[in-house]
Amino acid sequence: MQDFFQLIAKYFTLKKIIFMSGKRTPFSKLFWTANTIEIFERFTYYGIFIGFAIYMEELGFTKDQLGPVQGIFLFLSYMIPVVSGTFADRFGFKKLLITSYLAYLPSVLLLLFTRSYSGIALSMISIGLAAGIFKPLISGTIRAVTDSTNKTLGFGIFYNMVNIGATLGPLIAAKLRAISWHYAFIAAAASILIMLLITLLFYKEPSREIEGITLRQKFIDLSKVIYDFKFLAFLIILGIFFWAPFWSFFTIGAVYVEKQLDTAILYDTISGVIGTTITNLISKEVNGRYYVLGESIANSAYYIILFQIIVSSVVKRFKAIPVFTSGIFLIAAGYTAMGFARISDPAWFLPGVFLFAVGEMASSPRLQEYITWLAPKEKAGLYMGTNFLAIGIGSSLSGFIFTPLYGIFEKSHPEYMWFLLGGFMLAGTIIVNIYIKLFGAFQEVKH
């Protein structure tokens, strides 16, 4: 307990030092403009995606139909950024931002008018493409407008903006779709229009180092890294045994809460802790009874906002792979709790999300940092691109494989899906350790 209070004290001391230090370069207007755009984009992206499975089910589509749409959507979201630096060199950040909005807006608006499977699939695939174009542009802007005195704080603020948008999007979209899905889609479209206006009026092209690599050379460089079969095997293991079950929380979590748990009991549990006023904001009323909305609690972003600094201050003391595997254990424990929510008390889902969030905070950033540090300094971005490759493969598998599999389990024992996902995660820790025993750990390069 003493260690816990020391961490809390360290957290607030760190905030005081960061925000009151006079040695760092002040952030520019472009820095705050970019972060504001990021909030609205994550609002749109997660506002649509987290509740998408609920939407499809209410329209009568099966999980076999849902899964491929989710898979392609996530694949594009994470594969397009692998080569986007080349396009940013040629066209500039601002033009690519506007291009992403021009793909986003009609795709969201189409959801207002179509109920056909092909129409919805086209909309979501186009949104995934737009998100993939957008994804690296704001982080690239933050990198361009910060320096050695403020980049750590700058990226910390950026990461918080991502999670603020990822929190508000599902919360507001859920409340609106409880009235009508049209309202949720209109809010997403309005958010895109706001992004467009901010970009046109306030976003200035940042001065930056040009990557200077053609698309052909990008693929050649990627192929050289991927032809390192030891590294390729590592990426495949990550994709199958970490990213695929990890993303399944976001593909099926909200619909599991909404359709399989007694959310009236959840309402009573949550309101007993935080009061009815706040709980009503994340719930819908039906015939005088309140029910918690699935998207409002099947989301880890709000825990990340609260606890990322504390978790990061702990895990940075340890080596990357032990931290990564410890995070996997926590996620597996979270999935187990989510499964128990179906066969025991629905309130088990709440600590399940908390454990998932802590596991995510421990494993995901540490893993991405580890992969970056495997590369020589001049190839750090390239290696991060390969990490996007692993995420793209794994997240798409979550849609193509685990969502249809959940459709089978939900007919009688939906809780089994969470036990299976937890087992996959635990198998991943075993396979990673076997891999290291057989081939040895990678050597980090000191930049």
Give the side-chain half-sphere CA count within 13 A for 334. 26
What mean pLDDT, rounded, does the chain reach? 87
pTM value? 0.90
Distance CA 164, CA 306 (A): 11
Ordered structural domains, the chain, with CATH: 23-212 (1.20.1250.20), 214-447 (1.20.1250.20)
At residue 137, does pLDDT exceed 80? yes
Average pLDDT of 38-66? 97
Task: Answer left, alpha or beta for residue 130, where phi above 0 means left and psi between -120 and 50 means alpha.
Answer: alpha
Distance CA 347, CA 277 (A): 19
Average pLDDT of 195-222? 81
pLDDT of residue 216: 77
φ, ψ dihedrals at 112, nearest 5°: -75, -20
How would you class 276 by CB atoms within 10 Å of its CB: exposed for 0-12, middle for 13-18, buried for 19 or more? middle
CA angle, residues 385, 390, 324, in degrees to nearest 5: 105
φ, ψ dihedrals at 284, nearest 5°: -120, 150
CA distances in angstroms from 172 to 48, 49, 293, listed in the order given: 10, 13, 11
At residue 3, does pLDDT exceed 70? no
Where helices occur in 261-319 by DSSP H, the ranges are 263-274, 276-281, 294-297, 301-315
Average pLDDT of 314-343? 91
pLDDT of residue 436: 82
Please give the structure tokens belonging to residue 384. 């991060």
pLDDT band at 274 (very low <50, low <70, confident <90, very high): very high
| Stretch among 160-169, 179-188, 217-226, 238-247 having the lowest mean pLDDT | 217-226
CA distances in angstroms from 351 to 83, 114, 226, 249, 425, listed in the order given: 38, 38, 38, 14, 18
pLDDT, one tens digit per residue, over 304-325 is 999 988 888 888 788 888 888 8
